[in-house]
Amino acid sequence: MKTRKQRKLSIRREKRRAIIRLLVVSNQEFFSVILVTYLLLLLLEEIKEGFVSNFLNLNIILGITLISGIITVFGGEGKKKEIEHFEKKDYMWIFALGALGAALIFYKTRSLGTLAYLISAISGILIVLLSVLILEEDSSNKDKRKNPSKEEFF
């Protein structure tokens, strides 16, 4: 039977664990927001130099992002969204983001002339193909985990 002191210690430990869990979950949300913010500000700075850096030091935001990311990675389990199958809109998003990536690469390499078209086209195709490959590989790995074959056991 636990003594009164042991029960108090147990309750304190549980409270500490609950607070730490809350902080980790809050940090995971914060990391998502700060990462997107940093990437958008970096993109704005790349498009128009001085647009952000005249008012804000991006290195500070990068440091905060890195620290938050490290805490997120080592802080425990994150959200795991299980997707059974991919719809047409998922592939449309991949294609749109690949085209956006190609446009950004063209914007930065346009001084190369006709070579910029080739570089951006190949980059856009690679973005789309690798994204589809990763998505389909993840879904096939989920299927294998659900229905393992005999060969996988030996």
Decide if 129 contacts 80 (C-beta within 8 A). no
pLDDT value, residue 136: 80
Decide if 124 contacts 99 (C-beta within 8 A). yes
Residue 127 tokens read as 């973005």
pLDDT value, residue 49: 87
Give the torsion sign (CA, 125, 129, 134, 136).
positive
pLDDT tens digit string along 46-74? 888 888 889 999 899 999 999 999 988 88
Q: Which bin fits 113, alpha (ψ -120 to 50), beta or left (φ > 0)?
A: left
| pLDDT at residue 34 tops 90 | yes
pLDDT value, residue 150: 54
pLDDT value, residue 37: 93
pTM of the model: 0.61
